[in-house]
């Protein structure tokens, strides 16, 4: 995947975040038994996936990339938006550091796991994983918003301008 194509991901994410910014006060945090229980929790989970696989595994920036469930209540909209700005920085750093070597395998222990599981995988595959993971959960968020009575915008990548 080329760095330019990541701008499509950012645009569709921006569309969803712009909509979520306007939710009623409880809309972001309303709990249900679907996906990660709330829009807030699901958005944090999406960002954590980027933090884990790209920020921790590829860039070795942290050994604790995942937000503990007991800390999710600390996230308001601005903190979530800031987290995704950090995600964009991580993705840009992966492109900058790996450039033409995105398809060269990295073999190492998964930093945030206690068991010594070593995997061999390319940064490109992890980038694709984090993006498809985001789109899976973005679809869940849109469905969740519809169940809550909202009419969310089109967040499909085909709706972005080249």
10 CB neighbour count, 10 Å cutoff: 15
Number of domains composing the chain: 1
Containing structural domain, residue 129 = 3-153
Summarised one tens digit per residue, pLDDT across range 118-133 is 999 999 999 999 999 9
For residue 109, give both structure tokens.
Answer: 């222990």
For residue 84, give both structure tokens.
Answer: 């995704």
Q: How confident is the model at residue 49 (pLDDT cuts 50, 70, 90)?
A: very high
Q: What global pTM score does this model have?
A: 0.94
Res 37: pLDDT: 84
Considering only CA atoms, give the Rg of the chain: 16
Rounded CA gap, 9 and 11, in Å?
5
35 pLDDT more than 80: no
Q: Is 123 inside any structural domain?
A: yes
Q: Is 101 inside any structural domain?
A: yes
Q: Is 95 inside any structural domain?
A: yes
Rounded CA gap, 137 and 132, in Å?
9
Rounded CA gap, 96 and 58, in Å?
12
- Provide the CA 18 distance to its chain's centre, in angstroms: 16
Rounded CA gap, 85 and 14, in Å?
11
Q: Is 36 inside any structural domain?
A: yes
Rounded CA gap, 36 and 49, in Å?
13
Average pLDDT for 3-24: 94
32 pLDDT more than 90: no
Summarised one tens digit per residue, pLDDT across range 147-162 is 999 999 999 888 777 7
Summarised one tens digit per residue, pLDDT across range 58-114 is 999 998 999 999 999 999 999 999 999 999 999 999 999 999 999 999 999 999 998
Q: Is 160 inside any structural domain?
A: no
143 pLDDT more than 80: yes
Closest CA to 19 of 39, 35, 33: 39
CATH at residue 120: 1.20.120.450
Q: Is 159 inside any structural domain?
A: no
Calculate what percentage of the chain has a pLDDT beyond 90.
Answer: 78
Res 24: pLDDT: 83
């Amino acid at each position: 995947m080329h760095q330019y194509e990541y701008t499509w991901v950012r645009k569709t994410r921006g569309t969803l975040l712009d909509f979520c910014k306007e939710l009623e006060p409880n809309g972001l945090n309303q709990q249900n038994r679907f996906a990660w229980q709330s829009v807030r929790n699901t958005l944090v989970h999406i960002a954590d996936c980027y933090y884990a696989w790209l920020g921790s595994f590829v860039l070795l920036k942290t050994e604790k990339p995942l937000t503990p469930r007991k800390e999710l209540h600390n996230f308001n909209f601005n903190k979530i938006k800031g987290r995704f700005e950090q995600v964009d920085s991580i993705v840009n750093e992966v492109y900058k550091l790996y450039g033409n070597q995105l398809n060269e395998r990295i073999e190492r222990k998964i930093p945030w796991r206690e068991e010594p599981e070593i995997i061999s995988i390319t940064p490109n595959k992890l980038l694709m994983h984090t993006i498809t993971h985001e789109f899976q959960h973005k679809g869940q968020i849109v469905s969740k918003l519809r169940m809550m009575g909202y009419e969310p915008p089109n967040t499909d990548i085909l709706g972005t301008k080249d």
